[in-house]
Amino acid sequence: MTKNVLASFSVGFIFSLGLAISGMTHPEKVIGFLNILKNWDPSLIFVMGAAIPIHILAYQYIKNKSHPLFDSKWHYPTSKVITKNLVIGSLIFGMGWGIAGLCPGPALASVTSGSVEMYVFIGFMTLGMYIEKSVSQFLK
Amino acid sequence: MSESIINALLGGSIIGVSVSLMLILNGRVTGIAGIYSQWLQWPKGDTFWRFAFILGLVLGGYVASLFIPNTFGPMVTDLPWVMIAGLLVGFGTALGSGCTSGHGVCGLSRFSIRSLVATLSFMGSGFLVASLIQLVKGV
């Protein structure tokens, strides 16, 4: 339990450093990547370009292991069903990303920026999550 | 431009190492939207490690800002649009069960078709909307 939580804290910390170094905490930079019509700056594609090969190796490494180091079982998702919700939700997320240049990680990593607008964004993001959960609970 | 690429590669590598640690140590996917939104469902479920992760994320951003000038850029849009964007990001990631990290990095590395579909969807609408806004503003 304790090791688990400590690892999780450390991962959050390191992940955040990666976000900051890569430029993902700059909405302007993200919009420069998503807006292909003016001074297009595709450099952010190298964030995924570097992260994915490393993470592929990690999945290869754990393939024959029965459980993670600090837990008794694996928790990664195994669903293979392509649902309407998956596509519609992702399209909606992308629209918000394209408007503000912020996805959840960089927004939360920017909490100490002191920017009121950032708190507004995080607040409404949280509200959006609540609404989705309430609606899907209601539809069940 | 070349400096941007080096920063992206360096930052991306650090992200790759961190999500790999999460997998090897805790056996979990580092999907920020999922970790954050399920932590909000307190007191249901396992919330402690989620809280620790978010705390690390916030502190990491703070420490980075001590070393990197202008770590946090300004908003690119007005307050009403910030609100709308926040709502869309929150609602969309919850409905689509994932964001840039969960689907885009972790899912693609697992060769998940689900995550590929999700990533193409949010990248597609992201490119479309950001470019449309440019069109409206005038190219």
Q: Model confidence at B43, in pLDDT bands (50, 70, 90)?
A: low
Reported as a single tens digit per residue, the pLDDT across A68-78 is: 999 999 999 99
Which of B73, B107, B123 lies at the smallest CB-CB distance from A25? B73
Mutation target among A97, A116, A139, A140 for the B interface, most CBs of B within 10 A: A97
Contact B89 A24 (CB under 8 A): no
Region B40-56: mean pLDDT is 85
Q: Is B112 exposed, middle or buried (0-12, 13-18, 19+ CB in 10 A)?
A: buried
The predicted pLDDT at position A13 comes to 98
Residues 6+ apart with CB under 8 A from A55: B16, B19, B20, B23, B105, B106, B109
Cα–Cα distance measured from residue A106 to residue A31, given in angstroms and rounded to the nearest whole number: 13
Query: B50 with B35: CB under 8 angstroms?
Result: yes
Q: Is A119 on the interface with B (CB under 8 A)?
A: no
Q: What is the pLDDT of residue A139?
A: 82
DSSP string, B58-77: HHHHHHHHHHSTT-SPPPSS
| Closest CB to A34 among B75, B84, B127 | B127
Q: Between A11 and A138, whose confidence is greater? A: A11
pLDDT tens-digit series, residues A31-54:
999 999 999 999 999 999 999 999
Over pLDDT 90: what percentage of chain B? Answer: 86
| pTM exceeds 0.90 for this model | yes
A40 close to B (CB below 8 A): no
Please judge whether A61 and B68 are an interchain contact, meaning their C-beta atoms are less than 8 angstroms apart.
no
Residues A50 and B13: beta-carbon distance below 8 Å? yes
Mean pLDDT across chain A: 96
Q: What own/partner pairs with CB < 8 Å and gap ≥ 24 does B61-64 have? A: B61/A16, B61/A19, B61/A20, B61/A25, B61/A108, B61/A109, B61/A110, B61/A111, B61/A112, B61/A113, B62/A112, B63/A13, B63/A17, B64/A16, B64/A17, B64/A19, B64/A20, B64/A21, B64/A25, B64/A109
* Cβ of residue A134 closer than 8 Å to a chain B Cβ: no
Put simply, whether B92 touches A (Cβ < 8 Å) is yes
- Flag whether pLDDT at B47 surpasses 90: no
User: Which band of pLDDT confidence, cut at 50, 70 and 90, is reported for residue A1?
Assistant: low
Residue A56 forms contact with B (CB below 8 Å) = yes
